Structure 1
Amino acid sequence: MKEIIRIEHLNKYYDTGAIQVHALRGINLSVYEGEYVAIMGQSGSGKSTLMNILGCMDRQFEGVYELDGISISGQNEDQLSAIRNKKIGFVFQAFQLIPRTSALKNVEIPMIYGGMKGEERHERAKQLLEKVGLGARIHHMPNELSGGQKQRVAIARALANSPAIILADEPTGNLDTRSSHEIMDFFTELNKEGATVIVVTHEEDIAACTKRIIRFQDGQIIQDERVVKEEC
């Protein structure tokens, strides 16, 4: 099985002026192609810090982080931007959709940065929105969509460039219970199709939908368990 993420002896420090905070303490972690992983922990546990590093938004760390065979610490900002666009599909708690832009155009954005031509880009965005059940909403603006529908647009956008991983940061945090389960059902289906999905969450019922739960406390992994379940 292909190793998508390799982390060795990862340490992260924050200087607050008066003191130095050791946010991540010697993390060793591998994630393989096709895994469905939840990263859990209370506020201040290190999970958000790790998420920023996994998402290539922070390269100021000690140790090794390789994403799909690429060493992240050695990349400049332009290279990191290209890696984020091609290798990572982001899904955020607050959706991060452009307000005055249709669902279709929002999904097209990563493909624009990736250099895909207009007609091909348009067709792929349409197909992805149909995949998440929004084929009849492609021209709707974000303010015309429910929270669950906005997150489906975000998932379609995350899939735009066929990324190595889908990284979801508290993806159900702004949703009601029904919409939360619908979104996790989408992630489950994507994983069944072969996608590598990493969900950062503090909710036990959301983590229970995944197949592997990694728990953080005080900057360290305190538990890494694999869970075999047929359905969420």
Structure 2
Amino acid sequence: MIVIENLTKVYRNGEIEVAALKGINLTIQQGEFISIMGASGSGKSTLMNILGCLDRPTDGYYYLEGIDVSEKNDNELSAVRNKKIGFVFQSFNLIARTSALKNVELPMVYGKVGADERKERALELLNSVGLKERSGHMPNELSGGQKQRVAIARALANKPQIILADEPTGNLDSQSSVEIMEIFKKLNREDKNTVIIVTHERDIAEFTDRIITFKDGHIIKDENLTEVTPCS
């Protein structure tokens, strides 16, 4: 599903250049459940932004289902995001003073889905994360774990093939973190979504089937189950 070849990302601030990614090579198959680990500044969030078509590589190639995403213009990238990718963020990014139901409906509004179909699907998604009875609640009436459940339901609104979650348990307590990771596992196992999670917590990463570790813009380890393969 995803092929990254010799991918580099350099940020420029005047005459200063910072290489966030340094010649990354990576393949992700459809239906994988993956975590990306690394300290702050290791390059993991930069890679997530490129995978999510929120940023462009400086050099190298990013193929999504055989399409060279790195050559798409802004409108084309936006279309790819809306159709193929669902995002979940550490800070939830819910709209205040807007019900859980309306938050989940929002991507479908942009996708021009009819009102009745939007509401029906949003309720189905809230039910799938155990929050149908909270559909009329505002974000400030929900716990952190409940907010993240709403965010996951919203990410699924347009039936994406890929879920990208950036530190999805970073603002949650231990019990809520486990519950959220179990939801991601269910999405992967039962609904066959490709799920990619950025985290700095090893215990969270161990919910996934593959752990890719970054350091200083390089992949230094790619663990699949009990097999560990060092990367050059």
- Compute the TM-score of the two structures, normalised by the length of structure 1: 0.94
2:65, 2:114 → 1: CA distance? 25
1:60, 1:191 → 2: CA distance? 28
For residue 57 of structure 1, what is the aligned residue in structure 2? 54
RMSD: 1.0
For residue 48 of structure 1, what is the aligned residue in structure 2? 45
User: Which of 84, 87, 90 is equivalent to 2:84?
Assistant: 87
Cα deviation for residue 141 of structure 1 reads 0.6
For residue 198 of structure 1, what is the aligned residue in structure 2? 196
For residue 108 of structure 2, what is the aligned residue in structure 1? 111
**Residue 123 of structure 1: SS of its match in structure 2?**
helix
Q: More displaced, 164-173 or 13-22?
A: 13-22
For residue 186 of structure 2, what is the aligned residue in structure 1? 189
Q: What do residues 77-107 of structure 1 show as CA deviations (whole Å, max 9, x unaligned)?
A: 1211121111111000000000011101100
Q: What do residues 96-135 of structure 1 show as CA deviations (whole Å, max 9, x unaligned)?
A: 0000111011001111111211111110000000000001
Check if 1:143 corresponds to 2:140.
Answer: yes
2:38, 2:105 → 1: CA distance? 33
Question: Counterpart of 1:109 in structure 2: which amino acid?
Answer: L
Cα deviation for residue 227 of structure 1 reads 1.4
For residue 77 of structure 1, what is the aligned residue in structure 2? 74
User: Which of 176, 183, 186 is equivalent to 1:179?
Assistant: 176
Check if 1:37 corresponds to 2:34.
Answer: yes
Check if 1:226 corresponds to 2:213.
Answer: no
Q: How much identity, in percent, do the aligned residues show? A: 66
Cα deviation for residue 60 of structure 1 reads 4.2
For residue 19 of structure 1, what is the aligned residue in structure 2? 16
Q: What do residues 1-49 of structure 1 show as CA deviations (whole Å, max 9, x unaligned)?
A: xxx2111010111112242112111111111111000000001111111
Question: Counterpart of 1:32 in structure 2: which amino acid?
Answer: Q
Q: What do residues 156-200 of structure 1 show as CA deviations (whole Å, max 9, x unaligned)?
A: 011111112000000000000010000001001111111110000
Check whether the contact 1:5–1:31 (CA below 8 A) recurs between aligned residues.
yes
- Compute the TM-score of the two structures, normalised by the length of structure 2: 0.94
Structure 1 stretches of 4+ moved >4 Å: none
2:95, 2:182 → 1: CA distance? 25
Cα deviation for residue 59 of structure 1 reads 1.5
**Residue 162 of structure 1: SS of its match in structure 2?**
coil
1:48, 1:118 → 2: CA distance? 35
For residue 156 of structure 2, what is the aligned residue in structure 1? 159
User: Which of 63, 67, 84 is equivalent to 1:66?
Assistant: 63
Cα deviation for residue 69 of structure 1 reads 2.8
Check whether the contact 1:5–1:65 (CA below 8 A) recurs between aligned residues.
yes
Aligned residues: 225
**Residue 147 of structure 2: SS of its match in structure 1?**
helix
Check if 1:169 corresponds to 2:193.
Answer: no
**Residue 153 of structure 1: SS of its match in structure 2?**
helix
Check whether the contact 1:68–1:164 (CA below 8 A) recurs between aligned residues.
no
Cα deviation for residue 138 of structure 1 reads 0.6
1:31, 1:130 → 2: CA distance? 30
Cα deviation for residue 61 of structure 1 reads 2.1
User: Which of 205, 213, 216 is equivalent to 1:215?
Assistant: 213
